[in-house]
Amino acid sequence: MKRFFILAVVFSTLAFTISRPTISNFIFTTVNDVPDLPDTPYDYSGITFPDHLLNAQDDTIDLGYEGGGIDSLSFADITDNGATLGRVLFYDKKLSSLETMSCATCHNQAMSFAENKAVSDGLTAPTLRNSMHLNDIAWTNKEHFFWDMSESDLRTMIRLPLTDENEIGADMDDIAQKLGETSYYPQLFTNAFGDPAVTEDRIAEALVQFISSMTTFNSKFDQEAANNFAGFTTQEQLGLDLFAANCNTCHSQGGHNFFDFPIDIPTLEIFPFIFNNGLPEDPEDAGAGTWEPGFSNLFKIPTLRNIDLTAPYMHDGRFESLEEVVNHYSDEVIDNEWTGEFIPSGGFAFTDTEKEAMVAFLETLTDESFLTEPRWSDPFGLETNIENFSIANLIIRPNPMRDVAVIEYDNPNQELVTFHVFSADGKLVLNENTRSDRYTLDKGIFQAGTYFIAVLMDDKKSTAKLMVQ
């Protein structure tokens, strides 16, 4: 089936308030039927752990990570062609029974592969829990998946969303034939596995390689960790100290030898990664209690890397912001049999200054480059970001937008500049002029999603993609 939507935007039909040279027709192709891939595959396999993670056992530097045990073989199986195939599968709606959903529907690159909803809209019903961010899962916790940690092997786990009738709903018997008939999968499977056969094992393997390649080693935290945090503000440094003292007992992903848990249940080897953080008991969801009664109300401790981008928070998406999360840990903790040793009764009772410092520290864990990195981007979508550079030094930041996004460019002669912002379905949502060298977009008028911005100046034009979370 051909699904090829072209959105032609004819600028000359738009109302121009001043006379200007006619601008040639613009075409935005919003969805491609075939993936747009580089001739040489992107580099997925060349990942190395930064030294400060491998050497974290050095007690003299407290990185907020417990020492030891990072598995430097975490990325050993990744090949560039395998992960390339995984990228296409991850974004391809053809896998889904109704061709309406892909993994990316609920796992969005702009949100570090989480979703900005408390629970996701499944094919037929809302999902039980909050969609999880996928960055760094291959090394922070490579044996425990889902909020209830019911899956211990990523290769097995991946088949669940693939075949779940409320998620991708792929019919594995049909899928081999369906993918085999496309113009691109036979070659992609051959590149990855040596021959064009499409099998469930290969689909799972390729998806695992793609997801495993998602690392965020370029945050301020990482840059500064290599530098003894010399560039941290006083506030960020206070946040780091508070984190190391209060949060790290549970959130020390990456190190695997945490503490001996004083309860004698054989399966408790999983304990370092599962816990209860004093949320009210959830009558709808027993967490790990669904598969082991002794683990009732225990949930996975997700990595906090890129956490500023993945709101809402917790397994049920109950908190909208990091401020709410920190308030919970400070003042709203409900004591229970698990929290006792790790969280003081009622919470840590932070001061306002400490709360702000904690949030400032958590924000240093964001790797912005991850959000626009082409190798993890949608190969069926538009080219990312600035597409043609005829307007000098055009940049939009932050992108994804925060409360505002500022468009900046060179405009030494105060030329008249026009901005057109389109939603992904082609509606003009903004049409503005200025003679300045910057223009501020206010989040107020935007819903979450992808927008296309055309900037027009004299006979020059540039287009750009803007993400709104």
Binding of residue 421 to ligand HEC (CB under 6 A)? no
Q: How many Å apart are CA 291 and CA 300, to the nearest integer?
A: 14
Contact residue for ligand HEC among 83, 110, 279, 457 (CB under 6 A): 279
Does position 315 bind ligand HEC by CB under 6 A?
yes
Q: Pick from 74, 79, 108, 131 the residue near ligand HEC by CB under 6 A.
A: 131
Torsion of CA 126, 129, 130, 131, to 10 degrees: -80
CB of 158 to ligand HEC, least distance (A): 5
The closest alpha carbon to 18, from 436, 427, 388, 431, belongs to: 431
Alpha-carbon distances of 324 from 117, 238, 247, 299, 314, rounded to whole Å: 16, 19, 16, 19, 11
Tokens of 409: 């460019």
Q: Measured from the CB of residue 410, what is the shortest distance to ligand HEC in angstroms?
A: 40
Contact with ligand HEC (CB under 6 A): which of 49, 65, 91, 145?
A: 145
Query: Measured between alpha carbons, how far is 215 from 468 in angstroms, rounded to an integer?
Result: 22
Q: Is 272 in the site for ligand HEC (CB under 6 A)?
A: no
Q: Nearer to ligand HEC by C-beta: 148 or 224?
A: 148
Piece of 32-40, 145-153, 222-230, 420-428 that binds ligand HEC (CB under 6 A): 145-153
Tokens matching residue 430: 């903004």
CB 64 within 8 A of CB 240: yes
Work out which of 74, 246, 377, 450 binds ligand HEC, going by CB under 6 A: 246
Nearer to ligand HEC (CB atom), residue 168 or residue 455: 168
Comparing CB distances to ligand HEC, the nearer of 131 and 469 is 131
CB 233 within 8 A of CB 360: yes
- Interface with ligand HEC, residue 250, by CB under 6 A: yes
For the bound state, the minimum distance from the C-beta of residue 279 to ligand HEC, rounded and expressed in Å, comes to: 5
- Per rule CB under 6 A, is residue 295 in the interface with ligand HEC? no
Q: If binding is defined by CB under 6 A, does position 277 make contact with ligand HEC?
A: yes
Q: Which of 53, 137, 455, 456 binds ligand HEC (CB under 6 A)?
A: 137
Residue 182 beta carbon to ligand HEC: minimum distance, rounded to whole angstroms: 17
| Interface positions, 55-114, toward ligand HEC (CB under 6 A) | 101, 103, 105-107
Q: Show the site string, 150-179: x = touches ligand HEC by CB under 6 A, - = not.
A: --------x--xx----xx-----------
Instruction: State the minimum distance, in angstroms, from the CB of residue 100 to ligand HEC.
Output: 10
Give yes or no for a cis peptide into 312 (omega within 30° of 0): yes
Does 147 participate in binding ligand HEC (rule CB under 6 A)? yes
Determine, following the binding rule CB under 6 A, whether residue 254 of this chain makes contact with ligand HEC.
no
Nearest to 118 by CA among 270, 336, 284: 284
Rg (alpha carbons) of the chain, rounded to whole number? 24
In this structure, what is the dihedral angle of CA atoms 297, 303, 306, 310, given to the nearest 10 degrees?
A: -20
Number of residues that this document lists for the chain: 469
Q: Which of 133, 164, 199 is nearest to 367 (CA)?
A: 133
Given 127, 212, 252, 306, the residue binding ligand HEC (CB under 6 A): 127
∠ CA(47), CA(140), CA(362), 5° rounding? Answer: 100
For the bound state, the minimum distance from the C-beta of residue 113 to ligand HEC, rounded and expressed in Å, comes to 8
In sign, the C-alpha dihedral spanning 187, 190, 193, 195 is positive
**CA–CA separation, 263 vs 276, rounded Å?**
15
Core vs surface per residue 30-47: b (16+ CB within 10 A) or e: bebeebebeeebbebbeb
320-349 positions binding ligand HEC, by CB under 6 A: 325-326, 329, 339, 342-343, 348
Which listed residue (42, 221, 275, 451) binds ligand HEC by CB under 6 A? 275
**Shortest Cβ 202–ligand HEC spacing (Å):** 14
Contact 330, 355 (CB under 8 A): yes
Q: Nearer Cβ to ligand HEC, position 304 or 391?
A: 304
Can you tell me the distance from the alpha carbon of 218 to that of 410, in angstroms, rounded to the nearest whole number? 28
- Counting Cα atoms < 13 Å in the Cβ hemisphere of 420 gives 21
- Answer for which of 85, 118, 207, 382 binds ligand HEC (CB under 6 A) is 207
State the nearest-atom distance from the C-beta of 79 to ligand HEC, in Å: 18
Footprint of ligand HEC on 367-396 (CB under 6 A): none
Retrieve residue 59's tokens.
């007690």
Question: Dihedral through CA 238, CA 242, CA 244, CA 246, nearest 10?
Answer: 180
Q: Going by C-beta distance under 8 Å and a sequence separation of 6 or more, which residues neighbour residue 6? A: 27, 29, 30
| Residue closer to ligand HEC (CB basis): 218 or 249 | 249
**Which residue of 251, 305, 420, 465 would you call a contact of ligand HEC, by CB under 6 A?**
251
Q: How many residues bind ligand HEC (CB under 6 A)?
A: 52
Q: Does 204 bind ligand HEC (CB under 6 A)?
A: no
Interface positions with ligand HEC (CB under 6 A): 101, 103, 105-107, 120, 122, 127-129, 131-132, 134, 137, 145-148, 158, 161-162, 167-168, 207, 211, 246-247, 249-251, 275-277, 279, 299-302, 304, 307, 310, 313-315, 325-326, 329, 339, 342-343, 348, 358
